[in-house]
Chains A and B, each alone.
Chain A
């Protein structure tokens, strides 16, 4: 990657600076864009909304349409603070008004089918949207029934809260209504799932709530994994802050939940039945439904892509970004989705302008709160050369174990500014 860049590197820099120096309104800048390229984006989360903004800037003359059923987006990052009672759900809400004002056509409807050969998206009202290039940012859906008895109806009595919004409020309210002395049980699925450290951040913040508000209560985590993201950091924080309020049981310690009874809130593992006062079941996951009807998901339930262009390796003309993709070692995070959107937008703009996509370097950082004012982080740096994601050796890593609490406070503050930045970039 470095070698390939080095020969032409200075020219690239100059080309980049030249483009930057010319205002967007200058016709010379617009000349490289194909006249009225039609770009459709399905899904308006951190991936789709960022892709729309980026394409608006890169292809000022293109016809850019974002299809997203919800008029208000509720962000998942920081929603565990809402569940833990220290953040308002309103602080998670974002609208598409600024994006619509920028000239992106925002259609609040559900996409129900995609025909890759006709290059058409069908909306729920029957309308057809024809595209030259489609960016699909469908997020995740759940494998209902993979835990026997846990279906859409059961999610009302035992919220997953793994898509933010009403489910987040429901779990928060159930915790608030629980008597002191109650048992909260969380089930964590086998990977891959959205936000690998998310369950453990949530566990920390629920334990913090119990410790401060309902001290005779306890959280039990039943996990399909034996090791997890930022494990040494979470274990350190749990031992320090929540020794009496949090118990974690891994897969090989009978932690795998296979059955759920919604009537009695009973979770069954291989050898035990455990009755909960509040049950939070995070179900096994797959790419969002529209990816399956578009034919871009494979037998794993996720979407294989060319990492350089983000184009589906199954269907031409459809690019997939965010949680739905097979992008390991990049994690399924909002940071990844936002960055993949920007890189994918550059690739799509190059393709409609008659240029080949180029490989680059992508970073990721995920902050996790271990208490309302303390956070830890994991970072990684990745190449997307030759269509594959690979972690760059010697880069990335965790907040050190044993850090002073001042470091964790500083990282909590960095997390706040990250949230302000990334939501600003996605929603204006």
Chain B
């Protein structure tokens, strides 16, 4: 399994400003309502939909991101030592493996919904 730290040089390009900009992209995918399976990935991803399973105005949406881009984004939050947004605070609670599981699950959900 890839180590997410290895992604950081690329991920570091996503500055806070870039994240801010990405957050206003419209969410075109249908609402993601977790869980949809009994897997460990579905359970891990259940925390996301409380804010991001939006019916209504788009929160920082990830409907346009594939698994790799989601992993990079989450790793950027996790490994930014000075970040203080809600996502920085949350991402620090997950292992690299868990971030990959969540990213794969969410990206697949968007594709198949």
Whether the pair A361, B50 counts as a contact (CB closer than 8 A) is no
Complex partner residue of B93 from A58, A392, A411, A417, CB under 8 angstroms = A392
Judge if A188 is at the interface, Cβ distance under 8 Å.
no
Judge if B17 is at the interface, Cβ distance under 8 Å.
no
Count the A-B residue pairs with Cβ separation under 8 angstroms: how many?
Answer: 170
Whether the pair B50, A9 counts as a contact (CB closer than 8 A) is no
Enumerate chain A residues within 8 angstroms of B52, measured Cβ to Cβ: 421
A70: min CB distance to chain B, Å: 22
Complex partner residue of A381 from B31, B58, B59, B90, CB under 8 angstroms = B90
Enumerate chain A residues within 8 angstroms of B57, measured Cβ to Cβ: 416-417, 420
Judge if B29 is at the interface, Cβ distance under 8 Å.
no
Q: Mark B82-107, 1 if CB is under 8 A from A, else 0.
A: 00101001111111011011001100
Q: Mark A358-396, 1 if CB is under 8 A from B, else 0.
A: 101111010000000000010101100000000010111
Whether the pair A9, B92 counts as a contact (CB closer than 8 A) is no
Complex: how many Å from CA A397 to CA B89? 6
Does more than half of chain A's interface fall in helix, strand or loop, or is it mixed?
helix
| A343-B46, A361-B98, A424-B53 known; A396-B93 Cβ under 8 A | yes
Of chain B, the residue at the smallest CB distance from A14 is: B39
A398: min CB distance to chain B, Å: 8
| A20-B109, A395-B92, A420-B57 known; A338-B50 Cβ under 8 A | yes
Q: Mark B32-69, 1 if CB is under 8 A from A, else 0.
A: 01111111111110110111111111110000000000
Judge if A315 is at the interface, Cβ distance under 8 Å.
no
Complex: how many Å from CA A418 to CA B40? 24
User: Count of chain A residues with Cβ under 8 Å from any Cβ of B?
Assistant: 57
Whether the pair B38, A19 counts as a contact (CB closer than 8 A) is yes
Judge if A17 is at the interface, Cβ distance under 8 Å.
yes
User: Count of chain B residues with Cβ under 8 Å from any Cβ of A?
Assistant: 45
| A16-B41, A394-B92, A414-B51 known; A5-B97 Cβ under 8 A | yes
Whether the pair B59, A9 counts as a contact (CB closer than 8 A) is no
Residues 30-64 of A at the B interface (beta carbon under 8 Å) = 32, 53-54, 57-58
Whether the pair A365, B51 counts as a contact (CB closer than 8 A) is yes
Enumerate chain B residues within 8 angstroms of A343, measured Cβ to Cβ: 43, 46
Segment at the B interface, from A200-208, A228-236, A346-354 = A346-354
Instruction: Name 15 interchain pairs, CB-CB below 8 A, sorted by A.
Output: A13-B41, A16-B40, A17-B104, A58-B35, A343-B43, A345-B35, A346-B35, A346-B43, A350-B38, A355-B38, A396-B90, A396-B93, A420-B55, A421-B51, A425-B49
Chain A interface residues (CB < 8 Å from chain B)? 2, 5-6, 9-10, 12-13, 15-17, 19-21, 32, 53-54, 57-58, 335, 338-339, 342-343, 345-346, 349-350, 353, 355, 358, 360-363, 365, 377, 379, 381-382, 392, 394-397, 399-400, 403, 411, 414, 416-418, 420-422, 424-425
